[in-house]
Structure formats: structure tokens, C-alpha cells
Amino acid sequence: MELTSCMNIIQIDFAIFEWVNNDLSSDLFDMVLPWIREPYFWLPLYTFIIAFVFFNYGVKAYWFVLFLVLTAGSADLISSRAVKSTVRRLRPCNTEHVHVIERVHCGAGYSFTSSHATNHFAVATFLVMTLGQHFKKIKPYCWAWAAIIGFSQIYVGVHFPLDILGGAILGLILGQIWAILFARYYGHIFDDEEVIYEN
């Protein structure tokens, strides 16, 4: 029964992948989504977040940036070095019948979990649990940001949906851990009286 259930999950995983990667294929997605998954594409956003925090919280913002870096760094390390090397699932782009965009590099590494999904969901969770407590309107945008990056990884053929789901869950856990630690020791940075721009 357990083996049958696992096989069913894998079949659903492949079916969703084929739907996203093949059935949703379009020139617009081929042009936009490869850029969406590139870290450099989001550099202005990262710069804005860091500048915003320093503008509002001054020297205390160093702790926020440090914990944000620790969140992303630990997510990438655990996903890339621990989980992928243990599970060793091949990337879909290294198999047949996959719609691969020319300028997208498949990579020689393994597929589960998606480091893109882990990293971005970890950062999104950290932002939601810190800045999001004062600026509540950013919460849906944080989740949408992480989700669209995960979706783009499936579309370009470098990850299966389960890779994204696993990465998202891992990212949520790690983001919460770092946010809780930050709030415990440096949560006073976000006291109401220190906030310049309130929503």
C-alpha cells in the first residue's frame, strides 16, 4: 500500500510537471520566466529592502541584515549539501521529453530539494515574520514572489513540483527558526516608536 501511494505521488508529480513544462509553454513565458529565476534580476529589490531597513533603523539594521543572510545561507547549504546529496533525484532536464529553453543551464547537480525554492521561501518567511509584523501589506507579495520563482523552476524544466514543494517546506521551517531567534534577541529593532513608515 505504501509503495502504491508513493508511485501515485510520483505519477501526479510527473503529470503536473508535464502540464506546466509542456502544456503551458508559450513565447511569453519562454522570454520572462528564465529571467524571473535569476538572482541578478531581483538585485534592485534586495537593494531596496536593505536600504529601507537601514533608513528606518540605522545601526540596529546590521542585525537584521546579518540574520537575513544567515537565513538565505543556511537554506542554500542545507538544501544543496545535505538534502540533494542524500536524495539524489535527477533533474527533469536530464531526462527525455522536457521542454528546455536554450539559455537555461540544466546543471549537473541533483533536483530534490530545489535550492531556489528553499532559499526564497526561507527569506519570504523571515520577511513576513519580521517586517511583515509592521508592514502587513507586504505579506502576500512575499509569498507570491517565492511562489513565482518556484513555478519558473518547473516551467524551465530544472525541477519537478515535488522539488519545489519540498524546498518550500524546508524554507518555511528555516525562515521561522531564524525569525524566532531574531525576534528573541533583536526584536526591539522593530518597536512601533522606531518605525518611520507605518502601513
pLDDT digits (tens, 9 = 90+) for 52-88: 999 888 777 899 999 999 999 999 999 998 999 899 8
Q: Helix, strand or coil for residue 32?
A: helix
pLDDT reading at 155 higher than 50: yes
Average pLDDT of span 172-192: 82
pLDDT digits (tens, 9 = 90+) for 99-136: 777 778 777 678 899 999 999 999 999 999 998 988 88
Report residue 193's pLDDT band, with 50, 70 and 90 as the boundaries.
very low
pLDDT at 142: 96
Nearest residue to 130 (alpha-carbon basis) of 177, 78, 79: 177
pLDDT reading at 154 higher than 50: yes
CATH number of 2-191: 1.20.144.10
Average pLDDT of span 124-152: 94
Nearest residue to 44 (alpha-carbon basis) of 56, 54, 32, 52: 52
Distance separating alpha carbons of residues 143 and 123, to the nearest angstrom: 10
Distance separating alpha carbons of residues 27 and 25, to the nearest angstrom: 7
pLDDT at 103: 75
Residues 6+ apart with CB under 8 A from 148: 36
Encode 122-167 in three state secondary structure: HHHHHHHHCHHHCCHHHHHHHHHHHHHHHHHHHHCCCCCHHHHHHH
